[in-house]
Amino acid sequence: MKKIFIDSVYNDEKSATIKEFTTLSPDLFNKEIEMNEDMGFCSILDTETTGLDHYKDEIIEIAIRKWVYHKKEHYLIKPVEEYSELNAPVKNVISEAITEITGITQEDVAGKKIDWNVVARLLSESDFIMAHNAGFDRPMIEAVPEVKEISASKIWTCSFKQVNWAKLGFLSSKQELLSIFHGFHYSGHRALTDIDALANLLLQGDYLKDILANAKTKQVQVDCVKAPFDSKDSLKACGFSWNAPRKFWSKLVSENDLDQMKTFLADDVYPSGRMTAEFKAIDIRDRFKA
């Protein structure tokens, strides 16, 4: 898959042509459609924050774009509404490091406030919500009382975790690098630009099909409690993530792959035979929660 896109950006002199992405094509917005039972609404969402801790950090910018999508064929059809706003943090200040990443300063957000009623409406009208790293954005959204309940009732999807980018030949799941592999670059880490660049990426393949197929697959959370320290490299290579607050390695796996995972744990992580890993079935609406 990667070779198809890499070949498409080379010119006759074998140098790559990477186009700058600034906004979605006007043809998408002008597309004439008639809603029918095969169409629904979804939202692509991104947040910028004062830091990585959803318990203490705050959202300083949000962007949501609602799309019409095809329920059966699983592809984006037309963007129909957007909301983007800066937000002045109450308990935090925007550090120089965050400004360097996002381009947002304390002065930029002065007097700005997100209208959470608009956010709640857009989320409520969506069949599912997508973010490129839903494991970060969902806890941040659900830390906001005004939208916690509606978000918690929704299916969240993740273009970072729910596409097997490595299997497709892409050596990184980072959105900026995936975009370059697909022939475009953009000025990242402003919320609206990020979600539109993600949509532009999804429109270039059957990635939404992969995401929704994964979303419908029963998942089990594997928590490697009391895993030996020297197993960390094996766990990391297998796609486990470190849960710092609870001090163990964790991963979501398909129920179909659970037996294979247990064999891996027995052979590579708990070879003494004292398996202390914990397994918990995850409801489709509980994916990517804190």
Q: How high is the pLDDT of residue 4? A: 60
Q: Which amino acid would we find at residue 100?
A: E
Res 121 pLDDT > 70: yes
Q: How high is the pLDDT of residue 103? A: 93
Q: Name the pLDDT band for 1 (thresholds 50, 70, 90).
A: low
Tokens linked to 153: 């009732």
Residue ranges of alpha helices (H) inside 89-242 are 96-102, 106-109, 116-124, 134-142, 145-152, 175-181, 191-202, 207-216, 232-237
Average pLDDT of span 64-87 = 98
Q: Please tell me the distance from the alpha carbon of residue 130 to that of residue 195, in angstroms, as a whole number.
A: 9
Q: How high is the pLDDT of residue 271? A: 87
Q: Name the pLDDT band for 277 (thresholds 50, 70, 90).
A: very high
Q: How high is the pLDDT of residue 190? A: 85
Task: Find out whether 226 and 139 touch, Cβ atoms under 8 Å.
Answer: no
Q: Which amino acid would we find at residue 169?
A: G
Q: How high is the pLDDT of residue 288? A: 93
Q: How high is the pLDDT of residue 108? A: 97
Q: Please tell me the distance from the alpha carbon of residue 119 to that of residue 114, in angstroms, as a whole number.
A: 8
Q: Name the pLDDT band for 3 (thresholds 50, 70, 90).
A: low
Q: Please tell me the distance from the alpha carbon of residue 163 to that of residue 179, in angstroms, as a whole number.
A: 14
Q: pLDDT tens for residues 216-272? A: 999 999 999 999 999 999 999 998 989 888 899 999 899 989 999 999 999 999 988
pTM above 0.95, yes or no: no
Average pLDDT of span 117-129 = 98
Q: Name the pLDDT band for 9 (thresholds 50, 70, 90).
A: low
